[in-house]
Chain A
Amino acid sequence: MIRNNYIGLLFLSVVMAVIPLFISNVYYLSILIFIGIYSLITIGLSLLMGYAGQISLGHAAFFGLGAYASGILTTRLNIAPIPAAIVACLFTGLVAFLIAVPTLRLRGHYLAMATLGFGQIIYVVFNAWIKLTGGPSGFGDIPRIRLAGICFDSDFKYFYLVWSVVLVGFLLAIHIVHSRIGRALRALHSSEEAAGTLGINTSRYKIEIFVVSTMYASIAGSLYAHFVTFLSPESFGISFSILLVTMVVFGGRFSVWGAILGAAVLFSLPEYLRVARDYDVLIYGVVLLLVVMFLPGGLAGWLDGMARRISLLFISRAPKRMKC
């Protein structure tokens, strides 16, 4: 299972390495950069939703915390982008930890409510703390990332930076899924009591995975800040949190691959279809409802099923695999 993932990852790396060589249009390149940034958030969120069975309705806020912390540290305090991103990431993780400890100790889905409320609070703070955040009109002039003498000032260079981070994040996610924590999380998802009786410290694992998933969002936020170089609150509201959940569910919440698929399809859809731009809310609603009802494994689950059926045609005596 993990070997298949490595092969897939290698394939993805090669594809991503050569794609920019064939794209001359900067616009398409920037779309791919955004897909990379959003994939990073959805990978983290899919760890939480698919493996820990919890849901965060405030991931836009953690994404925003990363972005604003990076932006503020680099413009106000003149800290270099990389250390700033690390500080932002640790700060976001700490905030997430403080939210997770009281809510994840409880059984059930209080985390959903707490993150929803927290997301809205952060959104209000971004708007209201004008001295620090520039309020509703935001702030700009965020510097580009400079690393080992290279300034990532073109979309071409930034593409490689973002997708390198995504691939590292992906690798890390696969390892988490296939580690002891990952197995414990899956056990927890199917039955919290059973997992508990087997000596799995359920709340600790849930807290850890939640913190990790917000750190993914924070790193994505830092990458976003140094790419767009301008931040304003409306990119970080509730509707974006919901869109992230939609991406994960649509792509397939039981697979890290689904996270990338969901981000790629749902982000690029409004870019290509005008109808999708005007009625995006309606379309996301329909997509989310239909996928949850009829395609619980999402796009990745569906593709997986198709691939399995096709391979069965060729290898007639293939052993039946367990559904998961």
Chain B
Amino acid sequence: MTLGSQILQYVISGISVGSIYALVALGFNIIYNTTGIINFAQGEFVMLGGMIAASLVGIFSVPLPVAFLLAVLIVTAAGALFERLAIQPLKNPSVLVLIIITIAGSILFKGIAMFIWGKQTYFLRSFSGDIPINIFGATVLPQTIWILGITAVVVVLLNVFFNFTLIGKAMRAVSSNRMAASLVGINVKKMVLFSFALSAAIGAVGGVIITPIALMDYERGAMLALKGFAAAVLGGIGNFHGAIVAGLLLGVLEALGSGLISSHYKDALALMILLLVLFLKPSGMFGSAQVSKLKEF
């Protein structure tokens, strides 16, 4: 294998993992924009999505598309339930309390997953076989193409949702000014609930599509959340397109770093970038410093 095709190989595997980081980062942004909350349970939605799909297909022999849909629906319900039971009852919570609540939620989801599935790793079969495709000397698994395609579909749907539907526009209104949004008759509480449900759904999609490549276990959520968060910060927190670019970029950098330099420090790279961004330009690559000053977080 030449160095060129080797690098191409790393870039391709980086992009597929990076898509998941991008999806997690999108989930962070949706909740952050409507509520100002950094939802530390975001990674658990990915984990739950993967685990549910894997056990539906593996244990109950449910057809894959049905399992996909069911996994997303169940996780969406879990996200909405979490908001309804833990976030909504709080009256004027401080940011510190919100951070602790979402951390509690993440431990709770992780604990429930351990309770249901134990500590084993779960496997989900690829969507369309495992025969690799050869592109310029690099091998590409069909699942990689599924991941890229589905991520692209999610991004397009989100764009349509936020720009052309009433609920999407209402959610954007809440994110730009809560008080004004409620004055024009938008039910802010409902929008917050929607934002949690939507984030959970996006996370679950990420979980289902990555499991055939990366497998899944109950402990995976925290790391995915961290890297997705790094992507969200790098892209400028709250910035949708920034999140996608930053997620892909982080995935690629991570794959290149571990392939060409050292795989030991693979999991540290994204976080070092996170620290660097926090230190040097907390508003991220595409965020403006002025906007980030106004943010509560």
Contacts and interface: CB of A to CB of B under 8 A. Distances in A.
Interface of A: 49, 53-55, 57, 99, 102-103, 106-110, 112-114, 116-118, 120-121, 124-125, 127-128, 238-239, 242, 245-246, 249, 279, 281-286, 288-289, 292-293, 296
B222 A238 contact: yes
Contact of B103 (A125, A242, A296): A242
Given A108-B95, A282-B114, A120 B268 contact: yes
A310 to B, nearest CB: 28
Contact of A279 (B114, B295, B296): B114
Interface of B: 38, 86, 89-90, 94-97, 99-101, 103-112, 114-115, 222-223, 226, 229-230, 233, 262, 264-265, 267-268, 271-272, 274-275, 278-280, 282, 293, 295-297
Contact of B90 (A103, A285, A293): A293
Contacts of A106: 282
B99 A124 contact: no
B102 to A, nearest CB: 10
A249 B104 CA distance: 11
A113 B38 contact: yes
B97 A296 contact: yes
Contact of A109 (B90, B99, B114, B230): B99
Given A103-B279, A245-B100, A293 B86 contact: yes
- Chain B binding surface, main DSSP class: helix
Given A113-B38, A120-B267, A128-B265, 20 more contacts: A54-B96, A103-B278, A108-B295, A108-B296, A113-B229, A117-B230, A120-B226, A124-B265, A238-B222, A245-B100, A246-B107, A281-B111, A282-B107, A285-B104, A285-B105, A285-B112, A288-B107, A292-B104, A293-B86, A293-B101
Given A108-B296, A113-B278, A127-B264, A292 B114 contact: no
A289 B95 CA distance: 15
Contact of A285 (B110, B262, B271, B293): B110
14 contacts: A113-B274, A114-B274, A116-B229, A117-B274, A242-B107, A245-B100, A245-B103, A282-B108, A283-B111, A285-B105, A285-B111, A286-B108, A292-B97, A292-B100
Contacts, number: 122
A239 B222 CA distance: 9
- Chain A binding surface, main DSSP class: helix
A124 B104 contact: no
Contacts of A114: 274-275, 278
Contact of A120 (B99, B104, B271): B271
A277 B20 CA distance: 33
A246 B107 CA distance: 10
A286 B104 CA distance: 7
Contact of B99 (A55, A117, A281, A296): A55
